[in-house]
Amino acid sequence: MHWIIGDIHGMLRPLATLIAEIDRRDKKRELIFAGDYVNRGPESKQVIDLLRSLPSARFARGNHDDVFDQVLHGESYCAKASEYDRIVQFRWFMNFGLFQTFRSYGASEEELIRADEAPLIEHLDQLGEYVPAEHHEFVKNLPPVIEEDDFFVLHAKWDVDRPTESPHISEQVRDSAKLREPLVWGRFTEEELASDKAWGRRGYFGHTPVTYYVDAAVPIVAKGMVLVDTGAALPEGQRLTAYCHETNEFVQADPSGRLVQSL
């Protein structure tokens, strides 16, 4: 069966718990991740180490991953390839967990504070040296969407009035730069959640925590879609969720790694 896992954000313990629980339930499981593996939480490096070790797992690109890509490499899926944008992204996301990400790779607080106060390209290059080559490749090669015959997984948003077949999403975004940004940065309105979709398949999305719409940190099942970001590294969520496409079951773990929901 296919299990879709929401935004991890450097939270290793709940991730390990969910994988162990899914493995206990489903020996032939396929794991699909909806993006945002880094930032906010304290263990981004360890998260990527674990993800890379998983058999039968696929990974979509999130906006935090895209920013990390830009900071490391000077270009990304959405951002322009320029030194100016590289520095802008770095300074912006130091407020959203990039500090914790580089700390997980071994950068010192002093280095990060110095780079944040007066960032230069050489500072970013030095920080990037803490990141192993295989992690550089992991981040650089994250695709924008994962597609199956009866569902698709992408990080943020797909236009509710835009079909997902003929051509498939991956073909549409390959040929249109303007469709790229919503995939990793867009947010659905409540009206869009409730609306009919022009999609021929169910969509799974992360990015926007479900507490943006409701009070409970549980997946939102809307028309033709499921939202699986339950705020693993946020005080208003504190849940990492894995949702089974075939059975509509889901499992959750809290930041300590305790299994808190199994339905």
pLDDT tens across 168-224, in order? 999 999 988 889 999 999 999 999 999 999 999 999 999 999 999 999 999 999 999
Distance CA(112)–CA(103), nearest Å, equals 8
| Spatial distance between the Cα atoms of 25 and 105, rounded to a whole number of angstroms | 33
Which of 46-50, 63-67, 258-262 is least confident? 258-262
Q: How far is CA 185 from the centre of its chain?
A: 11
What average pLDDT does range 8-37 have in this prediction? 97
pLDDT at 262: 65
Strand 57-59 and strand 30-33: the pairing is parallel
- Domains plus CATH for the chain? 1-61+142-263 (3.60.21.10), 63-141 (no CATH)
Q: Quick check: 50 and 38 in contact, CB under 8 A?
A: no
In this prediction, residue 263 carries a pLDDT of 66
Say whether pLDDT at 68 is over 70. yes
pLDDT score for 217 = 95
Q: How far apart are CA 44 and CA 250, in angstroms?
A: 24
Tell me if residue 32 falls in helix, strand or coil.
Answer: strand
The fraction of the chain above a pLDDT of 90, given in percent, is 92
pLDDT reported for residue 83: 72
What sign does the CA torsion over 115, 116, 117, 121 have? positive
Distance CA 57, CA 26 (A): 14
Q: What is the enclosing helix (H) or strand (E) of 258?
A: none
Q: Which residue has the tokens 């699909």?
A: 32
